[in-house]
Amino acid sequence: MNLNRSPTLLRIWFCFYLLTPSVFPLDCTKTLTSISVRQKGESLFDVYSELQKVQENGKTKLAAQNPFLHHIKESGGGACASVTAFNLLQGLRVMAHLEPLKAGSIMWRAFKKIPELRDGRVTNVQMTQLLNYFEKYLPNHHLNINVQRAAISADGEGKVWKKITPQLFEVKPNEVKILSYQVRSDGQLLGRHFVVIKKYGEDNSIVVVDPNRPEKDYTYFFKRIKTDKNSEPFTQLVRSLTSVPSPFEQTLIVDSLFTVQLKPQ
């Protein structure tokens, strides 16, 4: 039947179209998200600022780790690594002009697929495995994953860098980077924390998306430390280069870097 010659049927079809977006290839939410990011040049900073802005308005696009702690064994660490990998996926989906996903079911499937994630203390190999698993949510794209680490890292996976350089943490188009850092107190290693790098600054700083409060920006500076002439230098993350840290403040030491490039198939 020719809809152009039947105004009543045309109106019925149009209403059906609006009420059932999943039946049609056009998704209004997806299109608006893509346009707003594309108009800003699609930089990584813009992508995550857009997702954070939606987060502030009460619509969850970036996951926080607290709702997923029940997946972690009592003897394990936190859910920060797995949740940060999901937040990386959200950024890649926006870059690919795809609608952001809901974290609940995606994370449940990930913990089921890779049970080791429930230990909480995710290794570099396990993080790479999780990122490769998330590739299935990026249709018509594949991921190139490169792992690098500091000499002080106890994790044996990844090429060791000699020193921090801007090239390490600068984010190129169509890529997202995850940084892991050691959290130490009184010299004792408590575990590692994982964040998405939102921006690398010319002042040798980084802005990150933290799974504890993903709606907020956190800024850190790199500070090179050498305890004595016989020890290997390491790089510390500090909130300020000028203020004196509290003796009770935890020490954050740069550990590993995951560079994930989004490639069209």
Tell me, yes or no, whether 15 lies in a domain: no
pLDDT of amino acid 163: 82
CATH (domain of 111): 3.90.70
- pLDDT tens digit sequence for 86-111: 999 999 999 999 999 999 999 999 99
Say how far apart CA 217 and CA 245 lie, in whole Å.
20
In a domain, 14, yes or no: no
116 has a pLDDT exceeding 70: yes
Residue 36's H or E segment, with its range, is helix 28-38
Residue 143 and residue 136: Cα distance in Å, rounded? 10
Note the pLDDT tens digit of each residue in 177-193.
999 999 999 889 999 99
For residue 155 the two structure tokens come to 């994790």
Judged against a pLDDT cut of 50, whether residue 129 lies above it is answered with yes
In a domain, 6, yes or no: no
Say if 7 falls within a structural domain: no
In a 3-state reduction of DSSP, which class is residue 198? strand
What are the pLDDT digits (tens) for 141-188?
A: 999 999 999 999 999 899 999 888 888 999 999 999 999 999 999 889
- Length, in residues, of the chain: 265
Place of tokens 């994953």: 145
| Full residue range of the structural domain in which residue 215 is found | 26-264
Q: Which residues does 106 contact at the CB level (< 8 Å), separation at least 6?
A: 86, 89, 137
Provide the token pair at 194. 């994982």
In the predicted model, is pLDDT for residue 194 greater than 50?
yes
SS3 for 245?
coil
- At 230 the pLDDT is 64
Q: Looking at residue 75, what is its pLDDT?
A: 85
pLDDT at 137 over 80: yes
Q: Is residue 81 part of a domain?
A: yes
Question: 7 Cβ partners below 8 Å, 6+ apart?
Answer: none
Structure tokens at 5: 């010659």
The residues, any chain, with a CB within 8 Å of residue 183's CB and separated by 6 or more, are: 189, 190, 191, 192, 193, 250, 251, 252
Residue 154 counted as domain residue = yes
Q: Which residues contact 127 (CB under 8 A, 6 or more apart)?
A: 81, 85, 147, 178, 180, 194, 258
Crossing angle for the helix pair 80-95 and 124-134, to the nearest 10 degrees: 40
pLDDT band (50, 70, 90) for residue 36? very low
Instruction: Output phi, psi for 152, to 5 deg.
Output: -80, -10
**Per-residue pLDDT at 42:** 60
Average pLDDT over the chain, rounded to an integer: 84
145 within 8 A of 132, measured Cβ to Cβ: yes
Q: Is 19 among the domain residues?
A: no
How many structural domains comprise the chain?
1
pLDDT at 121 over 70: yes
pLDDT tens for residues 37-74? 444 446 899 999 999 998 776 677 999 999 999 999 98
Q: How far apart are CA 170 and CA 164, in angstroms?
A: 11
Q: Is the pLDDT of residue 203 over 70?
A: yes
- What pLDDT shows up at residue 231? 66
Of 9 and 225, the structure prediction assigns the larger pLDDT to 225
- In a domain, residue 192? The reply is yes
